[in-house]
Amino acid sequence: MAADPRDPGEQDASSRRKILKIGVGALGAGLVAIPLAPALGFLAYPLDGAGVAGETGFLAVGKRSGFGADVPVRVDLYADRTDAWNRTKNVKIGSAWVIEVEGGLRAFSTVCPHAGCAIDFDPAATKFTCPCHRSFFTLKDGAVEEGPSPRALDTLELRVEGGLVAIRFQRFRVGVVEKVVV
């Protein structure tokens, strides 16, 4: 016998079936989304611009009085990092060499433009140097003096405000002549 649509009992049963279908559908979507979440987060990372809080901003690295001429000072830059699930405070995002040149400060990335090794300071030669393939760079402007680096050291934007030095950290493509932000 066909169910009477006017029967209140049948209407309740029909509503329960609809709610059950919606619930099962939502549960299924949730189960699919859980394993995909890290991948989706990874895909969203470069798009939402929230990968490293402050990465595009200026990060304080110390007092102006802490930097002088002749001997560069290496500083580490820290920022809060956010991904799809977590926010981690004070993650090291990079380093820079800071030196005073003609009364002003300059900051150079410590990433070698040749293949990405860490740039060092050679006090005997009074030059920046890369130990990987022996590139040498001037202290004044980071120009290549010797070695395979295809370009000068990458300068970073630097500000002095209220006696504090702040640097805007960026990464650049290695192995190419042009300075290209990555």
Return residues touching ligand FES (CB under 6 A): 112, 114-115, 117, 130, 132-133, 135, 147-149
CB of residue 145 vs ligand FES: minimum separation in angstroms?
Answer: 12
Helices then strands, counting H and E runs in the chain, come out as 1, 11
CB of residue 127 vs ligand FES: minimum separation in angstroms?
Answer: 13
Closer CB to ligand FES, residue 87 or residue 133? 133
Q: Which residues contact 175 (CB under 8 A, 6 or more apart)?
A: 113, 114, 115, 150
CB of residue 154 vs ligand FES: minimum separation in angstroms?
Answer: 12
Closer CB to ligand FES, residue 84 or residue 117? 117
CA distance 105 to 167: 11
CB of residue 70 vs ligand FES: minimum separation in angstroms?
Answer: 23
* 52-53 vs 73-82, strand pairing mode: antiparallel
Residues shown for the chain: 182
Q: What are the CA-CA distances from residue 36 to residues 15, 45, 49, 81 (Å)? A: 32, 14, 20, 21
Residue 157 and residue 109 in contact, taking contact as beta carbons nearer than 8 Å: no
Closer CB to ligand FES, residue 12 or residue 146? 146
Amino acid at 9: G
CA distance 81 to 163: 27
Closer CB to ligand FES, residue 41 or residue 147? 147
Closer CB to ligand FES, residue 135 or residue 165? 135
CB of residue 92 vs ligand FES: minimum separation in angstroms?
Answer: 20
